[in-house]
Amino acid sequence: MFSYILRRIVGMVPILLVITVIAFLFVHLTPGDPIRIMYGAEIDQETYQQMRAREGFDDPMVVQYGRYMMNMLQGDFGISYRTRSNVSDEIIRRFGYTFVLTVLSMIWALVIGITVGIISATRRNSWMDRTGMVTTITALSIPEFWFGLMIMQIFAVQLGWFPTSGSGTWIHLMLPSLTLGFGVAATIVRFTRSSMLEVLREDYVRTARAKGQSERVVVWSHVLRNALIPVVTMSGLQFGFLIGGAVVVEQVFAWPGLGSYLIDSILNRDYPVIQALILLFSFQFLVINLLVDISYAWLNPQIRYH
């Protein structure tokens, strides 16, 4: 197991290297000029050229990439063009915000998703199952920004229970995390339900029932444990995608995490920030995948890694 994890970690290195190249090319080949976007036509051509030279834009791409890699290997992701803050410090600070938001969203999604999924599967074709399925399809179809603005309108503007946006306290986190977790919860409901239904038809479930175990024990220790394996995979991947959803939700709720940072930096062609974030998100995906694979072994001791 240990050597398996080690091999997986070593295997990440070439992937990340390729990603640095892609990220670098992505930002430098995208049309748009950070200096022009930031200062508009308020600076003259001479100042513009000087600023380009100062940021090293006039050097050949290979030189720029080399410089970027050299700095990065020393842990220096550069200074944001837009806000002149240190990118590494800023990412660490904002990672905290996005992490808390994503984890809480995932908790909502898992609690709601698995509960409704189990109810739907065990009471298949009941009114509860049908209501659950209609709700999940609706939830999957609603765009996050619209849903976010709707619950903001209801719970913040009309009822006044929560602040509309911003950060600083736990209650600031409620609306954005519910918005973000909502769509994922729907996916988890559907996965849990179908996976449960499949397992319920297995021979060992019939055997368990035949030997007289209560339905509660059958569902909780035989069905659920096996049915959860695909749910775990899917949840892990959804966790990665939540970062993508966080881009929209953070924007709507002015949550100062990595998602809003990414939007700002792309619109402003803030190269150091975009590059660092692409690398971070990729790394995050790799780590989540690894954790998902490891969790299989924990959930199902029959799975062994070599």
Partner 1 sequence: MSSTFRNWTALAMTASLTVTAQSALADNEVVIVIEAEPTSMDPHNTTDSNSATVQNPMFEGLLRFNESMDIVNVLAEDFVYSDDATEITFTLRSGIEFHDGEYFDADVVKQNLDFVRDSDNGLARSSFFSFIDEVIVEDDYTVTIRAEEPNSAMASYMAHSSAAMKSPAVITRKAEDSDYNMDREGAVGTGPYQFVEWRDGVEVSVEPFAGYWDADNAAKVDRIVFRPVQEASTRVNMLQTGEADLVFPIPTLNASQLEGNADVDLYTGPTTDVFYIGLNLEQDKYNDLRVRQAMNHAIDKDALIAQVLDGYGTIADSAIAPNVYGYAEQDIYEYDLSEAQALLADSDQADGFSATLWTRNNTEFVSVAEFVAIQLGELGIDVSVEAFEAGTLFDMLDAGEGTDMYIGRWSPGTGEADYGLRPNFASDRVPPNFNNSGFYRNETVDQLLDSALANPNPEEALDTYAEVQTIIYDDAPWVFLHIPDAIVAKNPNLHGVFVLPSGNVHVSQVELR
Binding site for partner 1 (CB under 8 A): 30-34, 36-47, 50-51, 54, 79, 82-85, 90, 93-94, 96-97, 99-100, 145, 149, 152-153, 156-157, 160, 163-173, 251-254, 256-257, 260-261, 263-264, 267-269
Q: 84: alpha, beta or left, given left = phi > 0 and alpha = psi -120 to 50? A: left
Three-class SS of residue 86? Answer: strand
Closer residue to partner 1, CB minimum distance, 172 or 190: 172
Closer residue to partner 1, CB minimum distance, 136 or 179: 179
Tokens in use for 218? Answer: 């059958």
Q: Report in angstroms how near the CB of residue 236 gets to partner 1 at its nearest.
A: 23
Q: Report in angstroms how near the CB of residue 204 gets to partner 1 at its nearest.
A: 44
Closer residue to partner 1, CB minimum distance, 7 or 54: 54
DSSP, res 79:
B
Q: Report in angstroms how near the CB of residue 113 gets to partner 1 at its nearest.
A: 25
Q: Report in angstroms how near the CB of residue 259 gets to partner 1 at its nearest.
A: 10
Q: Report in angstroms how near the CB of residue 84 gets to partner 1 at its nearest.
A: 4
Rounded Cα gap, residues 46 and 198, in angstroms: 69
Q: Report in angstroms how near the CB of residue 54 gets to partner 1 at its nearest.
A: 6
Bridge partners of 191, per DSSP, are: none
Closer residue to partner 1, CB minimum distance, 54 or 225: 54
Question: Are the CB atoms for 176 and 145 separated by under 8 Å?
Answer: no
Tell me the DSSP string of 171-216: HHHHHHHHHHHHHHHHHHHHHHHHHHHHHHTSHHHHHHHHTT--HH
Tokens in use for 171? Answer: 């209650």
Closer residue to partner 1, CB minimum distance, 89 or 215: 89
Place of tokens 């603005």: 149
Closer residue to partner 1, CB minimum distance, 32 or 143: 32
